[in-house]
Chain A
Amino acid sequence: MSQHQRTVRVGLIAVLALLVTAACGGTTRGSGDSPTSNRATGSANPDAALVEGLDVAFLPKQVNNPYFTVADGGGKAATEEFKGSYKEVGPSEASASSQVSYINTLSQQQTDVIVTSANDPNAICGALTSARQAGAKVVTFDSDTKPECRDVFVNQATAEGIAKNQVELISAQIGGAGKIAILSATPNATNQNAWIELMREELRKPEHAGIEIVTVAYGNDDDQKSFQETQGLLRSYPDLKGIVSPTTVGVAAAARYLSTSEYKGKVALTGLGTPNQMREFVKDGTVEAFALWNPADLGYLAAYAGAALASGRITGAAGEEFEAGKLGEYTIGADGVVVLGPPTVFDQGNIDQFDF
């Protein structure tokens, strides 16, 4: 046979052989190959003073994201209070793998405290574990990683608290019954998916029996996309009574669309938004009330948690306590989670008191 045919033949046989060997046995899911627990060991010394001159680095989901700029600013204020040195680094795009090289860099620079909000709960685990082995303390905030990769997670509010709050807000605004849609951020965001799941659970309760979630749309935390998704929602579901958007970008974009459309005042909108962005929509009647926490407080608390870890005051175990400057004392809950507090509801009555 010709040279060409022979090569093809050999190639096919090689591929088949490879397939057969690979198919026979091999590693499958559930074969129990997972990392041993990486929780911090050693004891805490609750009387230890906060070490001065700590290197604290904030690594948000992406730099140039206004929400994180405010949060990291809070971290900066805290770092200055306990006389550490602060810096903010991060990728320009919020992708899963982009944070890894920054974590490696921070570890190389012998950073004492790494504070980060994860784009993906798994992708940065390896790098964080390596950084912790090299001596850094890791605090996550806003969006968590797998618990074994970090020391403490500072949550803005409990996921249940947020879900309950959002459901209550929309229920009050649509009169207790009707179809609602959710405008979320990126499909993979840990926090978003947790809140949505809990909202569904909350809606299964008898007092919310009349409310139905028809769909979840994804605005990818991109203003234009969120805008267009809102358009799509209102066109696909003409009998929609309300939209819940638990993301600052999403709720602002949806409000902007609604306020210039024929649906203003007819379709309720609530979510998690910043007072500055939402002020004009509250004033012109598009939005009745929405909620958030103070991101600056979140960053502030995270920085103090990191300092306490690095000074040996806490190890991240449940029950330990630490002080967080002007915010007071906090206790660590299960799985190393610290909760900032309940969400604040903003409406016409109080929105002018805030500036962020």
Chain B
Amino acid sequence: MTRDALRAVSTRWDTVLLVVLAAVVVTAGLLVDGFASGRNLQFLLLDVVAIALIALPLTLIVITGEIDLSVASTLGLCSAVMGQLWVAGLSLELVVVLVVGLGAVLGAVNAVFVTRFALPSLAVTIGTLAAYRGLAFVVLGDQAVADFPFSWTTAASSTVADGSVPWAAVVTLVPAVVFGVVLHATPFGRSLYAMGNNAEAAAFSGIRVARAKFWLFVASGAVSGLAGVYWTLRFASARADNAAGLELAVVAAVLLGGVSIFGGRGTLLGVLAGVLLLGAVRNALQLADVAADTLDVVTGGLLIASVVVPNAVGLARTRWRRRRTA
């Protein structure tokens, strides 16, 4: 088990990412005023928590060859419902549990469409992306619910021992470790790679493909619901348009992290590195007063580079190898 875990950790793309991340952090710390400070670290981590949370189950889903684009809409709908339940007078503890449960149900809807009716997950989750966001507006309309208890909203942004690491980031480590262990150190996790590489072969070798995918989508929904709770409390505002468009940022981070869109390859460590890398680059560039437009171009460029570069490297290597053996 350790050997497999070690191998997973030392995959080529991961190392590249971690090196790049370290380089970016060091360069930014030296060149950009204000980057290398505890307070900035706090801001950075708070900004990436939601993306990191959602990226965890999404990684597993993409490894099996599927995709879930409805995550941000699930977050939004859960946030809207959270607002309405709070207004209805339920206790906040109960609301949180119910909302995460709702997320799981929303994920189950995706799961049923993908596994039971064998529909392509890209199309299904595009549909639920629109449907859930629309439902969020139906639930909350033009209101914003903002009178959440002060102690809860400050807790969402508070740090450990008044230092620079937010509690939210520490809490995110828990599901990160869980998903990491499941993916890299259990037979279930290995079966996901098998599914991504060849779903039919995996099915024939006894892996319960449909069931695995079902629970992955449910997990994705539940985690999105949890992210919705965090988002609502951090911004002290339950709105129907919370996190609109976030799915693109999450997919970008997952792909940047080395997970192949075709399935069958990728590691959780790489994805976390990807999330941090995108967050750090954005943070540093913003501190350096780079305009929002350029940030968009950079994000797009990074995404394209993250897929083109490995392909180009692979092509070059095969050609070089062919020349050597010729």
- Please say whether the chains A and B touch (CB closer than 8 A): yes
* A-to-B contact residues, CB < 8 Å: 15, 18-19, 21-23, 25-29, 31, 33-35, 63-64, 87, 89-93, 95-97, 100-102, 104-105, 107-110, 120-123, 125-126, 134, 186-188, 193, 218
- Docked CA distance A25–B283 (Å): 41
User: Are B91's CB and A95's CB within 8 A?
Assistant: no
- Docked CA distance A115–B113 (Å): 48
How far, in Å, is A66 (CB) from chain B's closest CB?
16
Q: Which of B97, B143, B292, B293 contacts A22, CB < 8 Å?
A: B97
Q: Does B226 contact A (CB under 8 A)?
A: no
B101 surroundings in chain A (CB, below 8 A): 15
Q: Does B314 contact A (CB under 8 A)?
A: no
B239 surroundings in chain A (CB, below 8 A): 96, 120, 123, 188
User: Are B231's CB and A102's CB within 8 A?
Assistant: no
Q: Does B89 contact A (CB under 8 A)?
A: yes
Q: Number of B interface residues at 8 Å Cβ cutoff, please give it.
A: 51
In the complex formed, the residue of B with least CB distance to A25 is: B91
User: Are B94's CB and A101's CB within 8 A?
Assistant: no
User: Are B242's CB and A97's CB within 8 A?
Assistant: yes
Of B5-13, B31-39, B186-194, the one contacting chain A is B31-39
- Docked CA distance A187–B237 (Å): 15
B147 surroundings in chain A (CB, below 8 A): 29, 34
How far, in Å, is B122 (CB) from chain A's closest CB?
24
Q: Does B110 contact A (CB under 8 A)?
A: no
User: Are A126's CB and B93's CB within 8 A?
Assistant: no
B152 surroundings in chain A (CB, below 8 A): 27, 33
In the complex formed, the residue of B with least CB distance to A184 is: B142
- Docked CA distance A16–B101 (Å): 12
Known: A96-B241, A101-B47. A29 touches B236 (CB 8 A): no
- Docked CA distance A126–B236 (Å): 8
Q: Which of A22, A120, A134 contacts B93, CB < 8 Å?
A: A22
User: Are A19's CB and B97's CB within 8 A?
Assistant: yes
User: Are A29's CB and B142's CB within 8 A?
Assistant: no
CB-defined interface of B231-245 with A at 8 Å, one 1/0 digit per residue? 100111101011111
User: Are B235's CB and A97's CB within 8 A?
Assistant: yes
B151 surroundings in chain A (CB, below 8 A): 33
How far, in Å, is B102 (CB) from chain A's closest CB?
13
- Docked CA distance A240–B278 (Å): 51
How far, in Å, is B156 (CB) from chain A's closest CB?
9
- Docked CA distance A23–B292 (Å): 44
User: Are B289's CB and A122's CB within 8 A?
Assistant: no
Q: Which of B40, B86, B94, B153 contacts A19, CB < 8 Å?
A: B94
A105 surroundings in chain B (CB, below 8 A): 43, 283, 286-287
How far, in Å, is B32 (CB) from chain A's closest CB?
10
Known: A28-B90, A101-B283, A186-B142. 14 other contacts (CB 8 A): A26-B93, A26-B94, A27-B93, A27-B152, A31-B149, A33-B152, A63-B291, A89-B286, A97-B237, A97-B243, A101-B282, A107-B39, A122-B236, A123-B236
Q: Does B73 contact A (CB under 8 A)?
A: no
Q: Does B20 contact A (CB under 8 A)?
A: no
Known: A97-B231, A121-B146. A108 touches B43 (CB 8 A): yes
CB-defined interface of B34-59 with A at 8 Å, one 1/0 digit per residue? 10010110010001000000000000
Q: Does B144 contact A (CB under 8 A)?
A: yes
B242 surroundings in chain A (CB, below 8 A): 96-97
User: Are B149's CB and A27's CB within 8 A?
Assistant: yes
In the complex formed, the residue of A with least CB distance to B144 is: A188
User: Are B289's CB and A108's CB within 8 A?
Assistant: no
A109 surroundings in chain B (CB, below 8 A): 33-34, 287
Q: Which of A28, A95, A188 contacts B92, CB < 8 Å?
A: A28
User: Are A125's CB and B236's CB within 8 A?
Assistant: yes
User: Are A122's CB and B93's CB within 8 A?
Assistant: no
Q: Which of B212-266 contact A (CB under 8 A)?
A: 231, 234-237, 239, 241-245
